[in-house]
Amino acid sequence: MTIVVQKYGGTSLSTTKRIKEVTERILEEKRKGNQVVVVVSAMGSSTDSLVEMSKDVSSHPDPREMDMLLSTGEQVTSSLVALALRDQGADALSLTGEQAGIHTEETFGDASISFIDTPKIKVHLDENKIVVVAGFQGVSEKGEICTLGRGGSDTTAASLAAELHADRCEIFTDVEGVFTADPRVVKEAKKIPELTYKQMQDLADMGAGVVHPRAVLYAYRNNVPLFVRSSFDQQEGTRIDHFREQTNVTGIAVEKDLTCVTIIGKEKTNLSEEASAMIKIIEAAGIAIRRALIIEDRYSFSFIIQSKELKQTYSLLQGRPWISKVSYENRAAVSIVFSHERLANVSNRLGRILMTKRDRADIIFHSPRVWRIIVPEYELALTAQLLHDAFIEKPNLSISL
């Protein structure tokens, strides 16, 4: 029997009315005679609200307790969806990550799935039940609840689809598919009907939050076709599969909430040595440097991190005798994701396009397929629009790169 995995994101489940509407779509799939596994996110922005509440009660929230807290959001929706389905006469049951057999490494807040004990779900599917799994969570060997990183319900869905040998994995969200840029930032962005796993992976890695990068990886490794579709209408959406790459430029991805940390060293400091030692310490603490270190001049250097990691970074910098001053600025990254390796002359062309901007932009060669531009946060939309216009809406420009 064909298995279909459907994942519904927070906006698709933001109210009980939305939950009832979603059950219609689940039942439609079931009526086709398929076995259906549903993976749900927490309601609306309830995960953000839980994070805020934790900050009200604790200045340094403990990672284990955070996962205990955050995993509750998905348990609420999974049981509400199962209740709504049962109300329609369907045989449905909800499962926590642990009940669904999802085992993870013990990394609180960003665990990866180590294996899935599939019989735990199959037994219910074989009884013709609709199984509703709480996304974003699993259990470690020691029995601790671990969450899979923000946006991690996508990962639950893709890995379940892979392990259950599902026919497809459908990611239902609040946009009609994957666009050439975030449609909330660039209004001219167009829906892309087909993408290769690699193209989607590059977009997701560069911040296109519509699908979690790990979900794309699981789907790719296990040849599961991924569909990104709107839960608000019946449109086709985007299919992510093994295709031949057609276009020159896949899209423009934006990443918000970055911080540029600039450190000014004391005179007579051997800055390059101290700087690389410092970066090693920061990375060893699990903080990803989103842009390689840049020595600005003899006395200062900068690096970019996600803003949520600023507090921890700051505590690592404390008490270093060679540091004279530390400053921070809000930054964002805009990336051009190419479908083929594009090296020649991109930097010059980018320089010319970005000259029209008011503020400085740092152009970074990220990989043969990606160029990344770091700008002040308030210039994010303008920069994304400029690049979308130059590389996507006027394709002749990019062909002559």
230 binds ligand ADP (CB under 6 A): no
152 is in an annotated binding site: no
184 binds ligand ADP (CB under 6 A): yes
Residue 205 or 274 having the CB closest to ligand ADP: 205
Q: Considering only residues 122, 150, 191, 320, which one is a binding residue for ligand ASP as defined by CB under 6 A?
A: 150
Residue 151 or 207 having the CB closest to Mg ion: 151
42 binds ligand ASP (CB under 6 A): yes
Three-state SS sequence of the chain: CCEEEEEECHHHHCCHHHHHHHHHHHHHHHHCCCEEEEEECCCCCHHHHHHHHHHHHCCCCCHHHHHHHHHHHHHHHHHHHHHHHHHCCCCEEEECCCCCCEEECCCCCCCCEEEECCHHHHHHHHCCCEEEEECCEEECCCCCEEECCCCCHHHHHHHHHHHCCCCEEEEEECCCCCECCCCCCCCCCCECCEEEHHHHHHHHHCCCCCCCHHHHHHHHHCCCCEEEEECCCCCCCEEEECCCCCCCEEEEEEEEEEEEEEEEECCCCCHHHHHHHHHHHHHHCCCCCCEEEEECCCCEEEEEEEHHHHHHHHHHHCCCCCEEEEEEEEEEEEEEEECCCCCCCHHHHHHHHHCCCCCCCEEEEEECCEEEEEEEHHHHHHHHHHHHHHHHHCHHHHHCC
Q: How far is the CB of 73 from ligand ADP (least distance, A)?
A: 12
199-208 core/surface letters (b: 16 or more CB in 10 A; e: else): bbbbbbbbbb
CA atoms of 94 and 341, how far apart (whole Å): 45
175 binds ligand ADP (CB under 6 A): yes
Q: Considering only residues 35, 96, 153, 398, which one is a binding residue for ligand ASP as defined by CB under 6 A?
A: 153
Size of the site for ligand ADP (CB under 6 A): 20
| Residue type present at position 308 | K
166 interacts with, out of Mg ion, ligand ADP, ligand ASP, none, CB within 5 to 8 A per kind: none
41 binds ligand ADP (CB under 6 A): yes
CA atoms of 216 and 19, how far apart (whole Å): 26
Residue 41 or 96 having the CB closest to ligand ASP: 41
Residue 230 or 259 having the CB closest to ligand ADP: 230
| Residue type present at position 372 | R
| Residue type present at position 242 | H
Binding mask 250-289 for ligand ADP (x = CB under 6 A): -x--------------------------------------
47 is in an annotated binding site: yes
Binding mask 130-149 for ligand ASP (x = CB under 6 A): -----xx-------------
Q: How far is the CB of 43 from Mg ion (least distance, A)?
A: 13
Q: Considering only residues 73, 135, 151, 265, which one is a binding residue for Mg ion as defined by CB under 5 A?
A: 151
Residue 73 or 265 having the CB closest to ligand ASP: 73
Q: How far is the CB of 9 from ligand ASP (least distance, A)?
A: 6
378 is in an annotated binding site: no
| Residue 260: C-alpha distances to residues 24, 110, 269, 350 (Å) | 46, 23, 21, 21
Binding mask 195-224 for ligand ADP (x = CB under 6 A): --------x----xxx--------------
Residue 231 or 313 having the CB closest to Mg ion: 231
8 is in an annotated binding site: yes
Q: Which residues of the shown chain bind ligand ASP in the complex (CB under 6 A)?
A: 9-10, 41-42, 47, 73, 135-136, 150-154
Known binding site for ATP: residues?
7-10, 173-174, 184
Q: Which residues are annotated as a binding site for substrate?
A: 47, 74
Q: Which residues bind Mg ion (CB under 5 A)?
A: 9, 151
Which residues contact ligand ADP (rule: CB under 6 A)? 9-12, 41, 151, 173-175, 178-179, 181-184, 203, 208-210, 251
Annotated binding residues: 7-10, 47, 74, 173-174, 184
